[in-house]
Structure 1
Amino acid sequence: MARKYFGTDGIRGLTNAGVMTAQMAMTVGMAAGKHFLRGDHRHRVVIGKDTRLSGYMLENALVAGFTSVGMDVVQVGPMPTPAVAMLTVSMRADLGVMLSASHNPYRDNGIKLFGPDGYKLSDEDEAAIEAAIEGEVTLAPAAEIGRAKRYEDARGRYIHFAKSTFPDDLRLDGLKIVVDCANGAAYQVAPSALWELGADVVAIGVQPNGKNINDRIGSTAPEVLCETVVSTGAHLGIALDGDADRLIVADENGRVVDGDQLMATIAGGWHRTGKLRGQGLVATVMSNLGLERHLRSLGLDLVRTKVGDRYVLEQMRSTGYNLGGEQSGHIILSDYATTGDGLVAALQVLAEVVRAGRPASEVLHRFDPVPQLLRNVRFAGGRPLDDAGVQAVIADAEAQLDGRGRLVIRPSGTEPVIRVMAEGDDAAQVEAVVARICDSVQAAAA
């Protein structure tokens, strides 16, 4: 059954409109709080946020909702999404909440929920909360209303945790690292953790004003990172997104290193040291064919899932893999975290650079990606992929690419768009295949 409020990563939307209002946040707090009131102990929820202006409004509304049903609230302020997941477990909370719209502009915001195990909620939990949002929630008696307090040491806890994931026998001494925090949630913790591990840190994107999060900076806009690495003579740069669950790297030449290359780097190091579980890694259908071929050359597997980190994590948990992620830089290291953690992933990458003792350009570019092209076709309505003519064109394209490439065609889950992606050894063939399919979809949708 389709969900009304929850998407693939919590509840998200334009602030002060639709589902992202103070009233809705309070209702979500009431519904989620009531759902997680289990047992006779004092119940607790941890609330973190990124640096969006709307975070103040939504945080206060959530506090009102949770306390009204008898749940105590711990507010930790601006913190990365993975830090909130970690603190939920560490502080034995019944629920964790992160206010963030990840890499979206400041006008958007979202409510991400974590269960007491630090993992994002199951479909069943989300369905139950949606039902409670639509219904009536019983409020706590006056004597049982929850309390709220700010926890001042959350930042230190997370920095200590992140540093603990870096190998004990290594240091970052002698490395000059540019860190771009996207004016987001990691603007304090990421530079501090890297500096404490010995790095010479050049920090950018660390002056949030409520409106500049992800604004031409961060992992989705790495141009400033690349320019700063080159201009400062840094050894490499790392860029996070607004809630710091994604990572993109720039080598010393200012060349971008995407999530596929980073996963290949971590997989190679972990395989060499016997740390890799599952004999490979989990990635989505969008990861480059070059990654798959590279892993195969190491005797490792690439298990593919639908697009979305929740599907990657589900596959990892069900099959015992401890490394997975997306080309966008959302990398999950399940030995350390229950969700993507850009800083922890960066530390694993940096460990490989330190161990190799070679420039980042030599260490991090593990394979030559095959030509890949993605185009979006917007349509007004209907189901153009069900058209017989479209299906015939797709079948012909698959036959052409057989053994030399891949084709991924999928409707967007959030807008009326068909995403057409092809990759293969022949760039001209890839471009021709994508153009032909897009033309057929547009014709069918007309």
Structure 2
Amino acid sequence: MRRAISRILLAGNLLAGLTLAGQAFAEDSITVANLSYRTGPFAATGTPLMNGQRDYITMLNERDGGVGGVKLIYEECETGYNTEKGAECYEKTKAASIVTQPWSTGITLQVLPKTNVDKVPILAPGYGFSPMADGKVFQWAFNPPASYWDGASMILKNISEGNLENLKGKKIVLLHLDAPYGKEPIPLLNAYAEKFGFTLLPVPVGVKEMQNQSAQWLQIRRERPDFVLMWGWGAMNAGALAEAVKTKFPMDKFVGIWWSGSDADLKSVGEAGKGYRSISWSFPVSDSKVMKDIKQLVVEAGHSLLPREEFDYVFYQRGVVISMFVVEGIKEAQAHFKTKVVNAEQLRWGLENLKLDEARLKEIGMEGMVPPFSTSCSNHSGHSGAWMLQWDGARFVKVSDRLEADQDMIAPLVEAEAKKYAEANAPWPVNEECK
């Protein structure tokens, strides 16, 4: 108990120290806010991501004095993954921060209508509302490097061994959190099921059922599906894995989206989870230059909130990649607008002009940590592609080349749903000049 209390106090002191340090150079600084959730039922998966985001920014301040001669102030507003609290945090942070990072599909949907008025870009890497990829309609929202619909497409491509005709007659369960996040892939999966002749069976898991999914897994055992796809988060992931082991479901037929691929969740079942797969647009490369710098300047220097054993984890290093997206957007804006301290509108331009090719990733020391991608006026996702990772009993290993989503299936749905959203929220400004 004393150790737990000490860790909480240390975390609070370090976070407070970062904010106070930021205030000392506030005249020549840029504030980056994060609507975090280090508490509540999703804290186990949220915390390592926030630690990675925080540590990348801390490293840049320590190593480079910030970005382009400007210090970065990293601030968190705790939401507990609660939509109402998230909306409150958005209102508290929008004046000072050049970006909002909602960290929940529910919160993203809540603040999305405000973006055209407040002119603060939403950055929702690999989450949020999939049609946000349409930059013409969602001018202030970004979900790089890949959307949930990209993820669903790539999972189907992988489990069908590259030929979706192989899924004909199969039964696929979608085990999903009964929340906007968990329902995201359903429209696209339904379209695939209709086209390729497989049965999709959504099985929802309520927040109160996350740690006791016996009813859901009884249904799965009765249905005898060929595959179970998981759109889980927080305690739901560990609960599902425990039930899968208990019911002896074949782990190589159990596949999760990138938020259902946490080392901590798999370590809870250890060797019994061997074979479980998760699609992922990030991959931990602990000997990369950026991770070596973070280890030396932040972790070993005592500036991190990270438990040392989590340094190699997928989610921690994904957090590092996510903060890199913000920083690269800042750099693009600084160069284009010829200013050091960029504002929210200028960052919007920067996020719309990301060019993270292999040369750039190598230059910033992140080679192999995220697939190359770029954004544009019309493409706010980038559709980077992803790798399939598999749990070997102790850690996640890469078991596929880079997979790519089928945009022929996705693009028409994005266009239709974006148009539907704009009409439902009329008057909604659309950038007709964007091609």
**Bucket of the pairwise TM-score, normalised by the shorter protein:** 0.3 to 0.5
CA radius of gyration, larger in: 1
| TM-score of the pair, normalised by structure 1 | 0.33
* Larger RCO, structure (CA 8 Å, separation 6 or more): 2
1 or 2, which has the higher helix percentage? Answer: 2
